[in-house]
Structure 1
Amino acid sequence: MNYTSLSKEELLKLREELNKEYSEAKAKGLNLDMSRGKPSATQLDVSLDILDAINSKSLLKSENGTDCRNYGVLDGIPEAKKLMADMIGTTPDHVIVYGNASLSIMYDQVSRAYTHGILGNTPWCKLDKIKFLCPAPGYDRHFAITERFGIEMITIPMSDKGPDMDLVEHYVNNDPTVKGIWCVPKYSNPQGYSYSDETVKRFANLKPAAPDFRIFWDNAYVIHHLYDDNQDEILEILSECEKAGNPDMVFEFASTSKVSFPGSGVAVFASSHANIEDVKKQLTIQTIGHDKLNQLRHVRYFKNLDGLKAHMRKHADMMRPKFEATLAVLEEELGDTGIGSWTKPHGGYFISFESLEGCAKDIVAKCKEAGVKLTNAGATFPYGSDPKDSNIRIAPSFPTPEEMAQAAKLFVLCVKLVSVEKLLESK
C-alpha cells in the first residue's frame, strides 16, 4: 500500500490504527539502544582470550629485542607495524602504531596542522579562513573535530560510489582555503557504501590549490565484512597517490577498536615517508612511546592478517543476523509504502534510512518516547543539521537479533505514524 496515494479519509483512518499500535508498543516498556555502533557483549566475548596472550610468565620482548615493558619505540614495535600495515594494505615503513583509538590520531592531526602546520606550511591558526569538505551523510565525530577548531565545513553529497567527485575536484583544485576532506572509504558511516575504483583514482589525482591539503582517510571498517562471498574491496589509497605523483596527500587511519576491544585496541596512522617523519618530530615531544605491551598482546594473539580475518568472521556471524533481521522488517513493512528507503550494506556497522523530508527528527523522538534510542536526527551532517531532515542512522550491532527485530518493528511503526502526519499536512 503506497501511503502517498491515499486520500485524506484513508490517511485519517490509518492514523487512528497506527496511534493504537503505538500506545500498545509504549506499554511494553522497551529499553533498547541503537544510538552508536557498539559491539555487543557476545562480540566482546570472542576476544577474551587476547587477555591471556601475554602474562607475567611471557617473554615480553619484541622480535628485535626491545623490552616492551619499558620506555621507547616511538612508531611501534616491528611486528605490530607489520600487522597493522597488512591490515590496511600498505608496508610497515608507511605506518606509526599508536595507542587505542584512531579518533585520537585524527584529532591530533588536525590539531598539529592548526598549531604548527604541515611540512613547513603556515599553521592553520594563522590563516583567515580554513575549510573542510564533509561527505554527508557522514560520521558525526569527524564533524565535531573540525567544528571544535572553528573550521568551516562544506557538505558534499554521497552516492553509492562515494562523494560527488565533481564537487570535490571543484573545491580542492580551485580553493586554497580547502585544507582537507573527511572520508570513510569502505562501508561508510552511515550508508555502508564503498568507494569505487574511479572515485579512489580521482582522489589520488586531485590537484590541490593548497599545498597542505590532506585527505583524512578513515579506514575504520577495512576488514569488517558481513559476508564471505559478497565483500566490497577498494583500491589502496597510498599507492594510488604515489602513482599519481601525490604521495603526501593522504593521512590514513584505522584501528582494532571493533576487532578486539573498543578502548583497548591498537590504532595506526599511515602516510608518506615525508609525512611520517614530520609527525614523528612532533610526536617525540608528545610521548616517549605508546603501549607496547598491548601491541605485543595483539600480535601474539592474531599473529598475522589471516588471523585477523578469521577473527572477523566470528564477528560477522554475530552481526549478519542483526542486519538481516532489520532489513527484513524494513522490506516487509515499508517496501511498497513510498515513505522510506534504506541501504543494504555488505559490511560495516550501520544502515542508513531516508524518510520523507521533514520527518527524521519526529521519527527519532517517537522511537525514544517508546523506548528505542537512535542517533540524533541530523547528526550525520555538519553542524548537526540535515537540510532535508530525512536521514536516520540505524546501528544494529548492540542489541540481540531478537531485540533488533523488535526495535525495527517499533521503528517502522514510528516511520508510518510520522509519515501519515506529514502527508495529512498537504491534504
Structure 2
Amino acid sequence: MKLDNVNKEQLLAAKAEVTAAYEELKSAGLNLDLTRGKPSPEQLDFATDLLSLPGDKYITPGGVDVRNYGGLNGIAELRELWGELIGVPAENIVAGDASSLNIMFDLISWSYTFGNNDSPRPWSVEEGLKWICPVPGYDRHHSITELFGFEMVTVPWTETGPDVNAVRELVKDPAVKGMWTVPMFANPTGVTITEEVAKELASMETAAPDFRIVWDNAYAVHVLNDEFPPIIDILGIAEKAGNPNRFWFMSSTSKITLAGAGVAFFASSKANLEWYGKIANIRGIGPNKVNQLAHYEYFGTAEGVRAVMRKHAGSLGPKFQRVVEILNDRLSEYNVAEWTEPTGGYFISVDLVDGTASRVVQLAKEAGVALTAAGSTYPLKKDPHDRNLRLAPSMPSIEQLDVAMNGFATCVLLATIEALEA
C-alpha cells in the first residue's frame, strides 16, 4: 500500500470525525488483547472431558503400561490415529510431549551441534549459515534460527506458497541449510501451499546435501467452516522426487485440546527418524504417555478429531467474519489497507500504507488495545516497509472483538491521516 493510492480527499475530509473517535476510544479505559493466537476459554472448555482421562485405565490396547518409562516414539494407537488424520503411515510418526516448537528447536540444535543424517559435518563448523524465511511469517520460527546465528534470507509469500523461483536461486548456495513453512492456513496469511508448489520444493536441487524444510502443519485441520481440505502427502512426494529426507513434518493438538497440555507429532523419513531417535534416546527416556493415552481415548478416531474441530470452527468462524466485516465497513472506501480473508488458521494478515504499521500499534496501545508489534512477521522483527500487522481474533469475545476492531480501524485511519499531512 502506498500513500499515492489512498483516497486522500475523502480521508482528510473525515479527519475531525476520526480524531474525535480516537479521543473517545482513549477515554473508554479499554484493556483488549489481539496479540497472540490463544484459544479462548470457550474453546478450552471443549476439552474439559480430557482432564478426567485416562482415569484408572493405564494400559493401552496394545498392552503398554503408560505409567512407566520407555516408549520413545509414543504410543502406537495415537500415532495410528494421527497418521490417518494427516495421511502419514504410523511408522513415520513420533508422538512427543506438548510442544512441536520444542521438537523444531531440537532438530535445529542437533543439526547445528552434531549435523543431521545427511550432513558431512556439524552445521556449527560451517561459515555463513543461512535460512530461508517466507514473509510474512511466524515469529517463533524466526526466533529459533536467529538464536543460532543464521542469516535470515526472506522470500515473498505468494497466493500459492513461498516464491519457488526465489527459493530455487537461494538453494544454489551450500550455506543455505533450510526453510520455514506453515503449509496450510499459514501464519499469518492463511494461504495454503498448492500441490504444484509442494512438488517444486520437494524436487528442486540444493547445493547443501543436508538441506531441510520444516513443514509445520500446525493448522492442518483448523478450518473456519465444515470443509476439511486434503492434506498434501509431502513425505510421499519427496520420496518420489528422490529427496526423502528433505522434510521435517510437524503437527500437534495444541489448539485442538489444551494449548498447554497437548501432544506434538514429528513425521519424516525412516532415516530422519532414526537419526532423531538416537539423540532423543539420550536426551530423555520417553514422552508423557499418560497424556497420549488420554488424547487417544478422548478422540477415539480421526473423525473424532474433526468433530472437535467443528466445535472450534463454530467458535472462531463468527469472530473472523466480524473482523473482515469491520475492516470492509471502516477502511475499504479510503483504500488504506489490504487484508486476507482466510478459511482456516488463527490469523488475519493486514497490510497498511507503507511506514504506518508502527504508528498504528502505538496509537492502539495508548487507547488500550494491544496489537502484535509491527515487524513481528519478519525476521529480526524488521519489516522493511513497516506495513504488515497480524491480527489474532480468537481470544476476545465477539463483543470485545467488535470494540477492538473498530478501535483498530480508527487507529489505521488516524495514522494514515498523519502520514498524509507529514
2:273 is equivalent to residue 276 of structure 1:
yes
2:254 alignment counterpart: 257
Q: Quick one: distance in 1 between partners of 2:54 and 2:71?
A: 19
Conserved? CA contact 2:184–2:193, under 8 Å: yes
Among 342, 345, 370, which residue is 2:342 paired with? 345
| Alpha-carbon shift at residue 102 of structure 1 (Å) | 0.3
Q: How do residues 189-204 of structure 1 correspond to structure 2 at under 5 angstroms?
A: 189-204=187-202
**Structure 1, residues 324-381: CA drift from partner, whole Å, max 9, x if none?**
1111000111112111010000000000000000000000111111111111000000
Q: How do residues 177-326 of structure 1 correspond to structure 2 at under 5 angstroms?
A: 177-229=175-227, 231-326=228-323
Q: Quick one: distance in 1 between partners of 2:112 and 2:329?
A: 49
Q: Quick one: distance in 2 between partners of 1:145 and 1:29?
A: 37
| Alpha-carbon shift at residue 12 of structure 1 (Å) | 5.1
1:139 alignment counterpart: 138
| Alpha-carbon shift at residue 4 of structure 1 (Å) | 2.5
Q: How do residues 43-192 of structure 1 correspond to structure 2 at under 5 angstroms?
A: 43-55=43-55, 58-119=56-117, 121=119, 122-172=121-171, 174-192=172-190
Among 382, 386, 393, which residue is 1:385 paired with? 382
Aligned length: 418
Q: Quick one: distance in 1 between partners of 2:11 and 2:292?
A: 59
Conserved? CA contact 1:359–1:419, under 8 Å: yes
Query: What TM-score, normalized to structure 2?
Result: 0.97
| Alpha-carbon shift at residue 416 of structure 1 (Å) | 0.3
**Structure 1, residues 230-255: CA drift from partner, whole Å, max 9, x if none?**
x5444221111011111111001111
| Alpha-carbon shift at residue 3 of structure 1 (Å) | 8.1
2:32 alignment counterpart: 32
Q: Which amino acid aligns with 2:35?
A: S
Conserved? CA contact 2:250–2:267, under 8 Å: yes
State which drifts further: 342-351 or 117-126. Answer: 117-126
Give the % identical residues.
44
Q: Quick one: distance in 2 between partners of 1:228 and 1:120?
A: 41
Give the direction of change, closer, same or farther, for the CA distance of 1:11–1:73 in structure 2 (3 Å limit): closer
| Alpha-carbon shift at residue 17 of structure 1 (Å) | 2.5
1:14 alignment counterpart: 14
| Alpha-carbon shift at residue 52 of structure 1 (Å) | 1.8
Q: Which amino acid aligns with 2:243?
A: N
RMSD: 1.3
Q: Which amino acid aligns with 1:101?
A: S
Q: Quick one: distance in 2 between partners of 1:80 and 1:337?
A: 51
Give the direction of change, closer, same or farther, for the CA distance of 1:299–1:397 in structure 2 (3 Å limit): same
| Alpha-carbon shift at residue 6 of structure 1 (Å) | 2.9
Give the direction of change, closer, same or farther, for the CA distance of 1:351–1:5 in structure 2 (3 Å limit): closer
Give the match's secondary structure for 2:250.
strand
Q: Quick one: distance in 1 between partners of 2:152 and 2:206?
A: 17
Q: How do residues 352-391 of structure 1 correspond to structure 2 at under 5 angstroms?
A: 352-391=349-388
Q: Which amino acid aligns with 1:6?
A: K
Q: Which amino acid aligns with 2:368?
A: G
| Alpha-carbon shift at residue 170 of structure 1 (Å) | 1.0
Q: Quick one: distance in 1 between partners of 2:158 and 2:5?
A: 26
Q: Quick one: distance in 2 between partners of 1:363 and 1:262?
A: 29
Q: Which amino acid aligns with 1:168?
A: V
| Alpha-carbon shift at residue 120 of structure 1 (Å) | 5.4
Conserved? CA contact 2:118–2:210, under 8 Å: no
Q: Quick one: distance in 2 between partners of 1:132 and 1:232?
A: 29
Q: Which amino acid aligns with 2:166?
A: L
Conserved? CA contact 1:194–1:233, under 8 Å: no
State which drifts further: 121-130 or 33-42. Answer: 121-130
Q: Which amino acid aligns with 1:203?
A: L
Give the match's secondary structure for 1:166.
helix
Q: Which amino acid aligns with 1:358?
A: G
Conserved? CA contact 2:164–2:200, under 8 Å: yes
Give the match's secondary structure for 2:213.
strand
Q: Which amino acid aligns with 2:169?
A: H
Give ranges in structure 2 of 5+ residues lacking alignment. none
Q: Quick one: distance in 1 between partners of 2:6 and 2:46?
A: 46
| Alpha-carbon shift at residue 53 of structure 1 (Å) | 2.4
Give the direction of change, closer, same or farther, for the CA distance of 1:71–1:253 in structure 2 (3 Å limit): same
Give the match's secondary structure for 1:274.
helix
Give the direction of change, closer, same or farther, for the CA distance of 1:191–1:315 in structure 2 (3 Å limit): same
Q: Quick one: distance in 2 between partners of 1:205 and 1:332?
A: 44
Conserved? CA contact 1:186–1:232, under 8 Å: no
Give the match's secondary structure for 1:198.
helix
2:418 alignment counterpart: 421
Q: Which amino acid aligns with 1:241?
A: A
Among 379, 394, 397, which residue is 2:391 paired with? 394
| Alpha-carbon shift at residue 59 of structure 1 (Å) | 2.3
Q: Quick one: distance in 1 between partners of 2:393 and 2:369?
A: 12
| Alpha-carbon shift at residue 268 of structure 1 (Å) | 0.4
